[in-house]
């Protein structure tokens, strides 16, 4: 199944987001550095493969743990 099936939200100009996002609170080890960060990286990359281009996170998760995992997993990612 693809997140693209849920549709897109136009944010203006050439920017849009998938209607179906990913909540970073679901990442393994969100409250502290996970024992196996590669698992979190796999989850994030799979979300992108499925068409998600909006990842919701909050400073309260970690703090900064989910943001670092996202950056490690997805940088550099080509624009779509």
Contact present, 68 and 22 (Cβ < 8 Å): no
Contact present, 22 and 55 (Cβ < 8 Å): yes
**Residue 19 neighbours by CB distance under 10 Å:** 14
pLDDT, tens digit, 9 for 90 and up, residues 1-16: 677 677 777 888 888 7
The residues annotated with a catalytic role in the active site are 61
pLDDT, tens digit, 9 for 90 and up, residues 51-77: 888 888 887 777 788 888 999 999 886
Angle between helices 37-49 and 65-74 (to 10 degrees): 60
Domain boundaries, the chain: 3-74
Q: Which helix (H) or strand (E) covers residue 10, if one does?
A: strand 8-12
Euclidean distance between CA atoms 78 and 80, whole angstroms: 6
Q: Which pTM does this prediction carry?
A: 0.76
């Amino acid at each position: 199944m693809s997140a693209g099936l849920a549709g897109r939200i136009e944010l203006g100009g050439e920017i849009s987001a998938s209607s179906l996002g990913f909540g970073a609170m679901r990442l393994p080890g969100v409250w502290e550095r996970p024992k196996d960060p590669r698992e979190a990286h796999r989850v994030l990359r799979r979300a992108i493969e499925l068409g998600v281009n909006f990842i919701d996170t909050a400073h309260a998760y970690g703090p900064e743990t989910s943001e670092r995992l996202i950056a490690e997993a997805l940088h550099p990612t080509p624009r779509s």
